[in-house]
Amino acid sequence: MSAPQHPEVRRPRATMRHVAALAGVGTKTVSRVINDEPNVAAATAARVWDAVRALDYHVDLQAGSLRRSDGRTRTLGLLVGSVDNPFSGAIHRAVEDVASARGVAVFASSLDDDPDREDGAVRAFLQRRVDGLILTTAGRRQSYLGAVNERGLPVVYIDRDPGVDVDSVVSDNRDGAAAATAHLIAHGHRRIALLADRMDIQTARDRHAGFLDALGQAGIPTSLATIVTELHDADAAERALSGLLAGPNPPTAVFSAQNLITVGALHALQRARMQHTIALVGFDDLPLADLVDPAVTVVAQDPQQIGRKAVERAFARLAGDRSPAGREIVPTRLIPRGSGEIVAQD
């Protein structure tokens, strides 16, 4: 005889009235908070969102957007360099933290430095009727901006300056690269190798310029430096540096101008057993950079601040800010850990 079947007990679905009761406000206030309307105290909004999460209250965003005059869906589109890159991941998390506190979801995609992929991702965001865009760009060809402007969507570019009159939040790439190179020069190095990304990428060009700035400031002829560009991943960087180390006049120091390039440089130095004789400074911090031997000296960006400033700017635009578009530059900082403090041997 089979066991008796017990009916499934379902938890009643939370309603706006339940949220209002738990938060101690009226249903109109709940509606205003959920719809991101102005003139609601921050403490009140926080209580409402706490109640929404506690009750697992689900808002029908599409239906709500049809009822609202602004047609918002409470979503943002985020395009980063690559979701598997720690720098991009930190930006993604910062954007999500700010957005989720406002009840806004984030759709994220990877650029992979492909203009066609950029164009396709933005058009996919537009099809999903996002309220705003936070974008990394592969170049200066943003063919989608006409459609974006037609819809009146706020756009904030991150990491790279798009070369158009829109909001952007970027690192001080040129100054950071100059600081890294000057640090190596201060430790006696004159034969310094620059390992850089593709020169059609704006950040790579800026870091290349910063490298040359520091050489010029120190009076070091560029003929003493070795510059290798078009390195887009760790394997390419490892092959490039291994070739230099095996050559007749190897560099005494390396500036790796991107975090994946730094990973490749570390592999090359360790394979050649030169990690304690060739100095290394990388642009971008790395997970576990302080645990290798020697620990890696880096110029650290602040991806959390980049992401936070970008999403806050997007929300300010959505709230009605009509001030002129601006470019915000986030400083970098040099973190000495050991690899960049190796003194030149000749």
162-214 pLDDT, tens digit per residue, is 877 889 999 999 999 999 999 999 999 999 999 999 998 889 999 999 999 99
Do 278 and 203 reside in the same domain of the chain? yes
Residue 243 lies in a domain: yes
Do 36 and 95 reside in the same domain of the chain? no
pLDDT band of residue 66 (cuts 50, 70, 90) is very low
Q: What is the CATH number of the domain that holds 241?
A: 3.40.50.2300
The pLDDT, as a whole number, for residue 1 is 45
The whole-angstrom separation of Cα 238 and Cα 240 is 5
Residue 145 makes CB contacts below 8 A (sequence gap 6+) with: 155, 164, 166
Residue 69 lies in a domain: no
Do 230 and 179 reside in the same domain of the chain? yes
Name residue, tokens 């360099």.
81
The pLDDT, as a whole number, for residue 28 is 86
The CA R_g of the chain, rounded to the nearest whole Å, is 25
Q: Tokens at residue 291, please?
A: 């645990």
Residue 140 makes CB contacts below 8 A (sequence gap 6+) with: 162, 163, 164
Q: Which domain holds residue 46?
A: 16-59
What pLDDT, in 10s, does the model give residues 227-266?
A: 999 998 999 999 999 999 999 899 999 999 999 999 999 9
Overall average pLDDT of the 37-45 stretch: 80
User: How many domains are there within the chain?
Assistant: 3
Residue 64 lies in a domain: no
Note if the pTM is more than 0.85: no
Do 292 and 211 reside in the same domain of the chain? yes
User: Quick check: helix, strand or coil at residue 302?
Assistant: coil
Do 128 and 34 reside in the same domain of the chain? no
b/e per residue, 197-218, with b = 16+ CB within 10 A? beeebbbbbbbbebbbbbbeee
Do 53 and 80 reside in the same domain of the chain? no
What pLDDT, in 10s, does the model give residues 273-293?
A: 999 999 999 999 988 888 999
Residue 191 makes CB contacts below 8 A (sequence gap 6+) with: 224, 225, 226, 249, 250, 251, 252, 253
Neighbours of 34 (CB within 10 A): 21
